[in-house]
Amino acid sequence: MRTLIACSEASRLDEATAAKAALPSLLLMEDASIELWRALKPLAHARGAGRTGLLLGLCGPGNNGGDTLALLRHARFSGLTHIAAILSKKNGGELTSLYATSLKSLGVPVLDWNDERVPCELLLAGASLIIDGLAGSGLVGPLRENLRSLVDAAHATGQPIASIDLPSGLSDAYEDGFPLVNATWTFSIEPRKSCLYFPSAREHCGEIIPIEGIFPVDAIFDAQACLLDAEDLGILAPSPPLSAYKGERGRVAVFAGSVGTSGAAVLASRSCLAAGAGISALFASPELYPIMAPMLEAVMVKPEPEDGAFEAEPWDALLIGPGWGKGPSRLKSLAALLGTGLPAVLDADAIGLYRTLVDSGFSASGPIILTPHPGEFAALTGTRSRISLANPATILPNVAQALKAVIVFKAQVTWIAAPGGELAVWEGRESGLGTAGSGDVLAGLIAGLLARASSAAKMAGRKATTTDSFSAARAAVIAHGLAGRKARAHRGWFEAGAIIEEAARILGLDNSK
């Protein structure tokens, strides 16, 4: 897992590092610019920037502007001659002014966007690579008008843009509709900023390239979130013992499907087994039971309990909601099922029903996981999708705490929040997963892993906890994302059943080694 921090923490880290190491800010900026130029240099050479085309820096008055001016000096010292800079503000910070003076002394054109608009536009027209250092982590609110006009002019060139640390306009305070630089690459100074992974902003960041070695490896900072990767799977979902039989691998009771949505029930219940659960049983409504029973071989199909009566034994986890329906009888059934105290995954129709229960004063006695997509999250919280997609780091922890549930907020970048405030991020960005039934598969994978964890907890003499459900949610999101990538690579476009097959392979490996 890679630590993600808030922009506000980045500013504090700058100050703390300078104080602890007795380093003047100039040396910190010099260190950063050296590493930035080292990473940017191959791209500049590939574009011919600085030799046959112009390497152009757009520089604000803050640290990102200073970093940009400093790396342009490194480019000049390395022999590149077609270099120029445009300042968004003539009188910038002390370090920005110092580096601007240095470039001018080397004969590098450094122009002001406000007072020298026409020659600046000529520089933009000749650029083959643009470096964006207009605004950084200290930004509060949207870009000012003069910066917006410079960003628009940079976009109009059609040339690639390399943003320093963050695309200008992105910050902790980002909102949908704020103007942002469309970066081809973002050279992220580690530790990385969480806002790079806000779903609405992620496309503006392009390829995120880490820049390390600026801060000491033992630097202390407050993490806002963690970025998940494939290697985390073995930690979050360790393989069962080789001696484990089906009962020890967890039993999932699935409540899903109704007339017209039986496919959701099939996918969800099969996915529980793909996650390694030993037993998956679909409790089908009377009208579906005779249809579903012959369709599922490995999944047991049982009649739905009458009047919501359901015995917790011998089950380890519940999966409720895919294609289930939202009628009054379902609300009563949901309350009865959650009253058993079993850990539960609530997907699709069950998400809104759970909100109704919570509003009426109901409190589940077992761990709960909710898996909303943006539309379901809007219905769950009353927050418009464009707001939650723009800044989930601000919204999700409060929702998770209020609902006392782990929230899996599904989007091109998936955010997972625990009631205690922990946040995890999976950079999915796999369009193949945008297919009907994909969410049903994810819900089944989470439930299967949750059942495994719950069974292991029972054998250890304890009950499953929110920690177990948070781990199961994170592991399932990783496996689901990896399965989507594998399926796309092997098949091109695919149906949701292919995700189940790939996820079973991924989770069936001994990831603990």
Please check the confidence at residue 513 and state whether its pLDDT lies above 80: no
Q: Which domain holds residue 85?
A: 2-222
Report the distance separating Cα 202 and Cα 429, nearest Å: 9
Mean pLDDT of all residues in 339-353: 96
- CA count, 13 A, side-chain hemisphere, 287: 8
Return the CATH number at 318: 3.40.1190.20
When pLDDT is averaged across residues 151-158 and rounded to a whole number, the result is 97
| Average per-residue pLDDT for the chain | 93
Q: 372 preceded by cis ω (within 30°)?
A: no
Which pairs count as long-range contacts for 329-334, CB under 8 Å and 24+ apart, including other chains?
331/356, 331/357, 332/308, 333/255, 333/304, 333/308
> What pLDDT shows up at residue 294?
81
321 sits in the region (left: phi over 0; alpha: psi -120 to 50; else beta) called: left
Is residue 510 scored above 70 in pLDDT?
no
Q: What is the pLDDT of residue 25?
A: 82
Q: How many distinct structural domains can be found in the chain?
A: 2
> Per-residue DSSP letters for 279-307?
EEEEEE-TTTHHHHTTT-SSSEEEEPPGG
Q: How many Cβ atoms sit within 10 Å of the Cβ of residue 431?
A: 11
Confidence of residue 38 (pLDDT cuts 50, 70, 90): very high
Query: Are residue 335 and residue 359 in the same domain, yes or no?
Result: yes
Q: Which residue has the tokens 């003499």?
A: 461
Least confident residue range of 103-117, 296-310, 386-400:
296-310
Asked whether residue 126 is assigned to any structural domain, the reply reads yes
| 325 three-class SS | coil
Whole-number pLDDT of residue 197: 98
| pLDDT value for 308 | 64
Asked if residues 164 and 66 have their Cβ atoms less than 8 Å apart, the reply is no
Do the domain assignments include residue 513?
A: no
| 252, pLDDT greater than 60 | yes
**Do both 358 and 455 map to the same domain?**
yes
Shared domain check, 212 and 264 = no
Average pLDDT over residues 185-191: 96
Q: What is the DSSP letter of 492?
A: S
For residues 464 and 367, the answer to whether their CB atoms sit within 8 Å is yes
The domain boundary residue, chosen from 189, 222, 255? 222
Q: Is the pLDDT of residue 323 over 80?
A: yes
CA distance 369 to 470: 8
Residues 301 and 412 placed together within one structural domain of the fold: yes
pLDDT in tens, 374-426: 999 999 999 999 999 999 999 999 999 999 999 999 999 999 999 999 999 99
pLDDT of 228 > 90? The answer is: yes
pLDDT tens track for 256-300: 998 888 899 999 999 999 999 999 999 988 888 888 888 888 899
CA end-to-end span of the chain: 17
pLDDT band at 168 (very low <50, low <70, confident <90, very high): very high
CA distance 442 to 71: 45
The confidence band for 511, taking pLDDT boundaries of 50, 70 and 90, is low
pLDDT band at 448 (very low <50, low <70, confident <90, very high): very high
Beta bridge partners of residue 162, listed in sequence order: 131, 185
Tell me the backbone φ, ψ of residue 79, rounded to 5 degrees.
110, -5
Angle at which helix 25-47 crosses helix 94-105, to 10 degrees, equals 50
Please tell me whether residues 403 and 361 are part of one structural domain: yes
Per-residue confidence at 119, pLDDT binned at 50, 70, 90? Answer: very high
Is 307 a residue whose pLDDT tops 90?
Answer: no
- Does a structural domain hold residue 120? yes
Mean pLDDT of 232-241: 90
Higher pLDDT, 11 or 228: 228
The answer to whether residues 387 and 175 touch, using CB atoms and an 8 Å cutoff, is yes
Q: Is 429 left (phi over 0), alpha (psi -120 to 50) or beta?
A: left
Q: Is the dihedral of CA 384, 404, 343, 235 positive or negative?
A: positive
